[in-house]
Amino acid sequence: MKTDILMVGVGGQGTVLASDILCDVALSAGYDVKKSEIHGMAQRGGSVISHVRIGKKVFSPVIPVGSADILVSFEKMEFLRYFEYINNETILLLNEGKIYPPGAAGGEEKYPDSLIEEKITIFKKYYLLNAFDIADKVFNRKVTSTVMLGKLASVLEIKPDIWKDVISAKVPPKTKGKNIEAFDAGYNT
């Protein structure tokens, strides 16, 4: 198995912790794994991207252009920014919850609803879920990323138990139960 997973979202959504969890899951399942992301100036409210590469032996920590197997978008429009990474086989997991970019919020630009509708059909397979609503139902917005991990687990060949062990070890102890619920909710959606 070689799986290149691109996780994209908006700063503050927990994509970094989610991709950390994915790395530990891959290691526990016996794979080599590398991850790359950029932090610093491009933080709060900015577009964030984590490259996670899982396989027998991984070299570059960055997914080459046109090579992503799975694109996980933690926000409804963010996947549109990374088309150079996808190919005809790429699977899309999309949170339909929106976070308005400042331009769209300030009224000068439009949120690209019709472009999203048009572009998701390019993907070989796409799974849509409103992770904000699911997270709100389970606990609150803070478990959105765990809902998305649950959905990701449902398309990867790694046992849910491994995921749950890693999530339990990585999240704040008080929120462990809620995070496992959020994972299951995403997995079963």
Partner 1 sequence: MEKRVLSGNAAIARGAYESGIGLVSSYPGTPSSEITDNIKMYDEIYSEWATNEKVALEVAIGSSIAGTRSMTCMKHVGLNVASDPLMTLSYTGVNAGIVVVVADDPNMFSSQNEQDSRHYARFAKIPMLEPSDSNEAKHFVKLAVEISEKYSTPVLLRSVTRLSHSMSVVDIGSRENVSRKNLDVNIPKWVMVPANARKRHFFVEDRLKNIQTDYDNDILNLASEELNSKKIGIVTSGIAYQYVKEALPDASLLKLNMVYPLPLGKIKEFSKKVEKLFVVEELDPFIENEVIAYGLNLQRLDRSLMGELSVERVSKLFKNIDFGVLRFPSEYDDIDKDLPQRPPNMCPGCSHRGIFYAINRLKLFASGDIGCYTLGLLPPLSAIHSTVCMGASISMAHGIDKGSNGEYARKSVAVIGDSTFLHTGINGLMNSFYNSGTSTVVILDNRITGMTGHQPNPATGISIKGTPAPQVNIETLCRGMGIKNVRIVDPFNVEECLDTLKAETAKEELSVVITNRPCIFADRSVISSPYFVIRENCTGCKACVKVGCPAILWDSEKRLAFIDETMCTGCGLCPEVCKFDAINKLGE
Q: Where in 22-61 is the site for partner 1 (CB under 8 A)? A: 23-24, 26-27, 32-47, 58-61
Kindly state the tokens that stand for 102. Answer: 């400042």
How many Å apart are CA 119 and CA 31, to the nearest integer? 32
**Nearest CA among 138, 17, 29, 1 for reference residue 74:** 17
Nearer to partner 1, 27 or 128 (CB): 27
Q: Does 100 help bind partner 1 (rule: CB under 8 A)? A: yes
Nearer to partner 1, 9 or 186 (CB): 9
> In the stretch 113-152, what mask flags binding to partner 1 with x, by CB under 8 A?
--x---x--x------------------x-----------
**Nearest CA among 140, 167, 129 for reference residue 17:** 167
Region of residue 47 (left: phi > 0; alpha: psi -120 to 50; beta: else): beta
Shortest Å distance, C-beta 130 to partner 1? 17
Count of residues near partner 1 by CB under 8 A: 58
Q: Write down the H helix ranges in the chain.
A: 15-28, 102-105, 113-120, 131-138, 144-155, 160-170, 176-187
Q: Does 110 help bind partner 1 (rule: CB under 8 A)? A: yes
Chosen residue from 8, 49, 70, 86 binding partner 1 by CB under 8 A: 86
Q: Does 102 help bind partner 1 (rule: CB under 8 A)? A: yes
Q: Does 169 help bind partner 1 (rule: CB under 8 A)? A: no
Chosen residue from 56, 107, 117, 174 binding partner 1 by CB under 8 A: 107
How many Å apart are CA 189 and CA 181, to the nearest integer? 12
Mapped onto helix, strand or coil, the DSSP state of residue 49 is strand
Nearer to partner 1, 102 or 173 (CB): 102
